[in-house]
Amino acid sequence: MSKLIKPYGSDELLSPFNEIGVNLADVEQMPKFLLNDSAIANVVMLGSGYFNPLQGFMNKTEALSVCDELRTLNGLFWPIPVLNITREMPDFKIGEKVALLDSSQYHNPCIAIMNISDVEFLSDQDLNYFCMRIFGTNDCNHPGVNKFKKLGNYLVSGSIEVSQLSTFPMDHPDTFRTASQLREIITDLGWRKIVAFQTRNPMHRAHEEVCRIACERINADGLIIHMLLGKLKEGDIPAKTRDECIRTMVASYFHDLPVLISGYGFDMLYAGPREALLHAIVRQNLGATHLIIGRDHAGIGNFYGEFEAQEIFDEWHDVSELQIQIFKADHAAYSKKLEKVVMLNEVDNHQAVDFVTLSGTKLRELLANGQLPPAEVVRPEVAEILIDFYKLNK
């Protein structure tokens, strides 16, 4: 049996998930706290083991330590605070047990029990400071900043015991898996070297070939395509359509490479370099040994440099806790000269006209108009799925 890479920050996964669930009679007697989307996503990530070894929500002091030092108060390297922010000040006592309710589900069921350690006020200045540290900007045109600033001004912290993983297991029964489930699957497959690919988009030819290149060079036993299943910015392709695109592509074109398709229940932050670090922690926790970090990984618009998400790993190369390795990928495109997809920094004697490229705007325009983009950019089977999606959502 293969021995997997250790989870991040511990020898075994320390997920605060209770499979037995909560006692409804006990919950009935507890104070209730209705979570917003961002807090629900954090509960799911904690309960799924992807935020191992964390056990709950951070208070202001710990959040500032993570923002400033990229470390928790006990010294653990961590790139983005895990917060539970609300608009109205809760009337909780320190040490009280509170039922956390899922606002995304009918009847708002309890998905976790929280041991209250602090209820603190965050000024608008505090929120701006968090934004500058997490996202590198206060600009509300950044979707992550815009969402963060609307969460509220009260920070509720404490450890949690998770009893449900929101709607993700029901909405994505064939795709959503916890970190421990994936570690078990990978162990059963006998994989030792595992390349992980993070995606919030349908996979196009460039993504496909970068995955193939990474696996070949690392001599990987398999590839895990690990898609984000949570909320994205307006206009992005929803998870079920992306899932269909990816499964179609893999079934049609990945006969030579073992692939595991899965997903996780988190919302996209668009936090660029810091989110790339978090993505690495998530993938180490599921058992991957390598993570592909490409151009503008987890970025949005022009808020980050093209390769900042790679450079931050060099800046923090002394982090011994992070054992997963990074495969740095350049922008990729189809070379007419070589008749294959290549990474641009690896080919000589090429001009811009030698590549088949298409802007995201032009690609969406073609698909929305029912036109197939060049097969060198998007596989036709994938394009057909996207064309159908745009037809239904005009």
Of the listed 138, 153, 201, 364, which one is catalytic?
A: 201
Return the percent helix, strand and coil in the chain, to nearest 5. Answer: 35, 20, 45
Which residues are CB-contacts of 18 (< 8 A; sequence separation ≥ 6)?
A: 161, 162, 163
Tokens 């039922």 -> residue: 99
Known catalytic residue: 200? yes
Residue 303: phi and psi, rounded to 5, are -75, -20
Sign of CA dihedral 268, 271, 272, 273: negative
The residues that bridge with 328 in the sheet, in sequence order, are: 293
- DSSP, collapsed to helix, strand or coil, labels residue 209 as helix
Tokens (6 digits) for 161? 């015991």
Of the listed 177, 183, 200, 283, which one is catalytic?
A: 200
- DSSP, collapsed to helix, strand or coil, labels residue 156 as strand
Known catalytic residue: 146? no
Q: Are 263 and 245 in contact (CB under 8 A)?
A: no
Q: Are 87 and 122 in contact (CB under 8 A)?
A: no
> Where in the sequence numbering do the catalytic residues fall?
200-201
